[in-house]
Structure 1
Amino acid sequence: MSEQHEETHFGYRKVAKDQKADLVRGVFDSVASRYDLMNDLMSFGVHRLWKRFAVELSGVHAGQQVLDLASGTGDLADRFSGLVGPEGLVVMTDINANMLVTGRDRMLDHGRAGNVGYAQVNAEQLPFPDNSFDCITIGFGLRNVTDKQKALNAMYAALRPGGRALVLEFSKPVIKPLEKIYDLYSFSLLPKIGKLVTRDEDSYRYLAESIRMHPDQETLRGMMEEAGFENCDYHNLTGGIVAIHRGFKL
């Protein structure tokens, strides 16, 4: 069956596989200019702590090569740029041109020009030689990828032996009372915040739906193992609302 006849999920909707990337692109075209503000509002600023912990788990140090997929406005890439120093390199990528431009402008404002590269890429089809990077990260982007397994396989191929990959993503709450509160917030309050701040209620409704369609913690760990990663683990944050998955290429 050709990809144009195969289906996947775009939130709760079923769409043709070859349409999803364009639909996701439309979401982020709409919200790019206020993406950082919305992240602060919808997480009450806690997303900064999640990202800080992900950077700590990465083990990145001076002189290393880091690939940051779905970089958005560059929160992770900014931190990695400071860690790898002038001898290292951070490649900041996104499938969405508007997000990548917004992120590049922010990095330049922060004086991060010397050791940061930029590339508009699809995480499923990485245009880098095998064994290129010491660390590969994807923060809040895997759930938007059409073929998640294909993306994990590509990450494994591009990683050097001894390197590690980290997936920072919304996940499944592990505390039952929290799950009910989280659902109420996600489907009632979050779209209204999106409408007020970005004038785009639908994109933030998609956000809530895409989180619910994303694999749970154990399923994603299994997918990483299937891609070839070893010693895979995950860390639940904020009661499992977010999880950081980590795997190694030995």
Structure 2
Amino acid sequence: MAKTQSNRASLDKQPREVASMFDGVARRYDLTNTVIAAGQDRYWRWAMRQALAPRPGERLLDLAAGTGVSTLELQKSGAWSLAADFSLGMLAAGRFRQVPMVAADAMALPFADESFDGVTISFGLRNVADIDLAMREMLRVTKPGGRLVISEFSTPVIPGFRTLYMEYLMKALPKVARAVSSNPDAYVYLAESIREWPNQRRLAERVAEAGWSSVKWRNLTGGVVALHRGYKLG
């Protein structure tokens, strides 16, 4: 049996710590996500693509793309889609996928102004040290009229279910991760970071404060995940 690594970031989300933590989960990242999400991850990726509504010929940036599985989903639209992540381990684990990949920090994107028709970030904004700076950077690299879609864990909206979900996060999720993950301690951080994340309305306010317009959100799986969408005015 392979020995697992013990490596987790703290909630102040220092970039080197977070990158190192994701390097440690890269080997079995996609499998672990599917297990802990009970297969809902596939639906969440489909819903993200539907919200972005990409068209053939467009240029899309998929931030925090990890191994590129979300970028493959975007490519189904016929748009050119670039996977970007600051974990070299994650990019290496996804190198077999037929998608272009680049190492990039969401707080200092290595792209020219107005380079992309759309930007997505799935389950990655929560791991950025300065999410407001990251959202401004995403705005900078988006063309006028372009759009942003954030897919992120959020606050369940059904009271009884919310209690059960929080119990799962803090107790069951780390146990499940120990069975399948190459770095189970990272999923303790995952549970804690979800618990500390702003709810749907507050995140929408912060997206708008970063300069995005017409910001709306949609709950998935009873609010376990929320999609936030905004536009860059031309």
What is the TM-score with the length of structure 2 in the denominator?
0.92
8 Å contact from structure 1 (residues 167, 244) kept in 2? yes
Distance in 2, Cα, partners of 1:92 & 1:198: 23
Which residue in 1 is equivalent to 2:155? 172
Cα deviation, residue 175, structure 1: 1.1
- Which residue of 184, 202, 207 corresponds with 1:219? 202
Q: Percent identity?
A: 40
- Size of the aligned set, in residue pairs, is 225
Rounded Cα–Cα distance in structure 2 between residues aligned with 1:67 and 1:152 = 13
Superposed displacement of residue 201, structure 1:
3.2
Q: Give how far 1:83 is off.
A: 1.6
Inter-partner Cα distance in structure 1 for 2:104 and 2:160: 39
Structure 2 residue aligned with 1:3:
none
Matches within 5 A, 1:80-159: 80-84=74-78, 88-105=79-96, 107=97, 112=98, 116-159=99-142
How far apart are the structure 2 equivalents of 1:200 and 1:188? 17
Residue 61 of structure 1 corresponds to which residue in structure 2? 55
Pairwise CA distance, 1:26: 2.3
Q: Indicate the RMSD between aligned Cα atoms, in angstroms.
A: 1.4
Cα distance in 1, alignment partners of residues 35 and 167 from structure 2:
16
Please say if residues 139 and 169 of structure 1, whose CA atoms lie closer than 8 Å, have aligned partners that are also in contact: yes
SS of the counterpart of 1:168? strand
Structure 1 residue 236 and structure 2 residue 219: aligned? Answer: yes
> What residue is the counterpart of 1:10 in the other structure?
10
Instruction: Report the Cα distance in structure 1 between the residues aligned to 2:159 and 2:26, rounded to whole angstroms.
Output: 33
Alignment equivalent of 1:46, drawn from 14, 28, 40 = 40
Would you say the 8 A contact 2:27–2:182 is kept in 1?
Answer: no
Q: Which residue of 1 aligns with 2:167?
A: 184
Structure number with greater CO (CA < 8 Å, separation at least 6) is 2
**Cα separation, 1, equivalents of 2:183 and 2:76:** 34
- Flag structure 2 segments of 5+ consecutive residues without an equivalent: 1-8
Q: Which runs of 5+ in 1 are unaligned?
A: 1-8
Separation in 2, partners of 1:225, 1:202: 34
- State the secondary structure of the residue aligned to 1:201: coil
Whole-Å Cα distance in 2 between the matches of residues 193 and 130 of structure 1?
42
| Aligned-partner residue type, residue 53 of structure 1 | A
CA apart distance, 1:198: 2.2
Work out whether residues 135 and 159 of structure 1, in 8 Å CA contact, stay in contact via their aligned partners in 2: yes
The Cα shift of 1:239 comes to 1.1
Q: Deviations over 1:39-74 (max 9, x none)?
A: 111011011101101101111011000000000122
